[in-house]
Structure 1
Amino acid sequence: MRRRHHFHIDYLGHSVSATVQTGHRPVVEILVDGKETNHATARDDGPVTVPVELPTDPPTTVTVRATPGPGAPRCLLLATADGEPLEMAPRPY
């Protein structure tokens, strides 16, 4: 059964959202400021990394690491400048 899980974080003044669709082939979609910027499909429940470019001056490249399972999905924002992963908060919708 497929289910959609939503995550969000504000970073450098930009809204970064992730939708993780679980199921046989998990799909991860990333939106920056409400616009889809990248997506990835996984073969199993292992972690999926999706590179994203934030529209800063100059552009900032970050990575979203989504773990569809096992168990509850989770997402981290990996910022190259900080080096520390930031937990993306789950959204109930």
Structure 2
Amino acid sequence: MTVNIDGGHRGAVELLVDGKETGRAEIHGSRPLILTGELPTDPPLPVTVRITPGPGGPRCTTVIAGEETVMPPRAF
């Protein structure tokens, strides 16, 4: 699972699961965003990703089966 954050003029956030886009939202200032998707397990497992774009660096947390985990940032 990957979250790509494009902070350009028309910023956007996309949620990728196994390289496929499963969620997308536009960034509006520093308002938090929530994206949802499913992990391809049997049965599929729902996932929620909370994104806080700023100020400072973005922060992403994922919630899977009630467990919240901070996703480590990676620069590209």
Q: Answer 1 or 2: which has greater strand percent.
A: 1
Q: How does 1:53-64 map to 2 (within 5 A)?
A: 53-64=38-49
CA drift at 1:43: 2.2
Give the match for residue 66 of structure 1.
Answer: 51
How far apart in 1 are the matches of 2:30 and 2:10? Answer: 8
Q: Does 1:89 align with 2:39?
A: no
How far apart in 1 are the matches of 2:55 and 2:73? Answer: 16
Work out whether residues 2 and 16 of structure 2, in 8 Å CA contact, stay in contact via their aligned partners in 1. yes
Amino acid in structure 2 at the alignment position of 1:85 = E
Give the match for residue 13 of structure 1.
Answer: none
Gaps of 5+ in 2: none
Is the deviation greater in 67-76 or in 33-42?
33-42
Structure showing greater relative contact order (alpha-carbon pairs closer than 8 Å, 6 or more residues apart): 1
Task: Report the identity percentage.
Answer: 51
Stretches of 4+ moved more than 2 A in 1? 23-26
How far apart in 1 are the matches of 2:68 and 2:40? Answer: 20
Provide TM-score, normalisation by structure 2: 0.86
How far apart in 2 are the matches of 1:48 and 1:25? Answer: 15
Give the match for residue 31 of structure 1.
Answer: 16
Provide TM-score, normalisation by structure 1: 0.72
